[in-house]
Amino acid sequence: MQPTTPESQSIATSSGASQTKQAGARERFAAEELAAVLSHWEIGIIESITEFPRGSRKAPKALIVSENGKFLLKRRARGRDDPYKVAFCHAIQLHLASQQFPLPHLLGTKRDNNSMLQWHGGVYELFEYIPGHPYSQSLEASFESGKVLGLFHKLLEHFRSEWQPPTGSYHMAPSVESGLRAIPNIVPAHVLSASGVEGLLSSLLDHYRRGAEVVETLGLELWPRQIVHADWHPGNMLFRDGHVAAVIDYDSARALQRVIDIANGCLQFSIIGGEQSVDHWPEYLDESRFKRFLRGYDDVMLLSQAEIRAIPWLMIEALIAEATFPIAATGSFGRLEGLAFLQMVNRKVKWLAKESARLAELAEG
C-alpha cells in the first residue's frame, strides 16, 4: 500500500461530510456516512459498529467488528485534514510498519489501495484495532516507552518523504510568549486583582526564555534534524504486560532535533500530578521514571552530553508551552482553573531549573 496521492483520491462534493455535532459535544458519524464510507474498504460482513469516544472530540471514531477482525474508523478533525499533511503522516506509518514497528496498520481502500479516503469533504482512515492498557507508571513501562522512542528515531533517522514535513515546536516559540501575554485578557477581573497574576506570568516568561537560551547556547541549531513524533506521551501508547503494544497518533510528526522529542517524553513520563487540588501537586518529578525512560532510549540510541544537558531546560519549555495554549484560549486547563494550574507549573519549572545540573548527571548515570 502507498500513501494516498491527494490529487488522485479527491471525490469530495460541495455537501461536506455528515455532521451530527451539537455545540461542545463530541463529533459523531451519521448512519448514512458510515454506510457510504465503509463501502470503500473490504472488511467482510460487519457485525457491529460502536462509537469509540477517545482522543479529540473533533475527530469521531468508531470500532468496527466484522468477520475479518476489528478495525477503527476515524474521520480527521477539521484543521488536521489537509490531504498533503495526512499523506506525510501515512508515509511515516507505512515505513514504520514495513520495519515491524509497533503501531496500528492502515488498511488500503479496495479500489485503489489508498491509505486514506476523501469523501464529501472529509478525510477518513481505517486502522486495525489493537487492544491494550494505559500506562501503568511502572519502571518497566517507562523503560519500554523510552526504548520504543529510540527505535522510532532510529528507523526514521534517514527517512525522507516526498511531502514537506512541518518544523515548529515548543522550543523558542513566539506563540508561547504571546499566549502568556494574552492570559490576563481572559481571566475574570476579580480573579486577576486577587491572584498576583502579573508576577506569575513574568516568572513563567523568564523561565521559558532562560530555558530557550540555555538550549541554544548548548548548540541545538547545529544538531541534525529528523522526523520525530512530537507528541510522545502515555496517552499515545498502548501497553500489554509492561511492553508497548502500539504507538498511535502521528498527526504531530515533523522534522526537528530528536532531543526536543526526548525531552517532552521525559516530562510526560515522569511528571507527578494527583487526584487532589493542583495546589497539592508536588513540584518534583519522579526521578526513577525519568532515569528509566532515558535508560530505555539509550538501549537503542545514545545521546550526546550536550543533548543530555539540554533535556531539563527543554522540559521547562515544554511544560510552560503545554499549559499556556489552552489557558490562553479558554482560561482553564481541561477542568482545572487556569491560574491555579499555572501556579503549579511555576513551582515545577522552578524546581526543574534548580535541579537541572543534577538531573543531567542522573541522566548520564
DSSP string, 156-199: HTT---SSPPP---STT-HHHHHHHHHGGGTS-HHHHHHHTHHH
pLDDT digits over 71-111, tens only? 999 999 999 999 999 999 999 999 999 999 999 999 999 99
| The pLDDT of residue 187 | 73
Q: What is the mean pLDDT of each run of 10 residues along the chain (365 residues)?
A: 52 38 76 97 97 92 98 95 95 98 98 96 97 96 98 97 93 97 81 75 97 98 98 97 94 97 98 90 97 98 98 98 96 91 97 98 93
| Alpha carbon distance 81, 86 (integer Å) | 7
Instruction: Decide if 59 contacts 78 (C-beta within 8 A).
Output: no
Half-sphere exposure of 108 (CA within 13 A, CB side): 12
Neighbours of 44 (CB within 10 A): 10
| The pLDDT of residue 299 | 98
What domains are defined for the chain? 6-128 (3.30.200.20), 139-364 (3.90.1200.10)
All 3 cell numbers of residue 72? 477503527
| The pLDDT of residue 232 | 98
| The pLDDT of residue 325 | 96
Residue whose C-alpha cell reads 482560561 in the numeric block: 331
| The pLDDT of residue 130 | 97
| The pLDDT of residue 167 | 93
| Alpha carbon distance 143, 274 (integer Å) | 22
All 3 cell numbers of residue 140? 518497566
* DSSP E strand boundaries for the chain: 10-11, 46-51, 61-66, 69-75, 117-119, 122-128, 225-228, 237-240, 243-247, 254-257, 332-333, 336-337
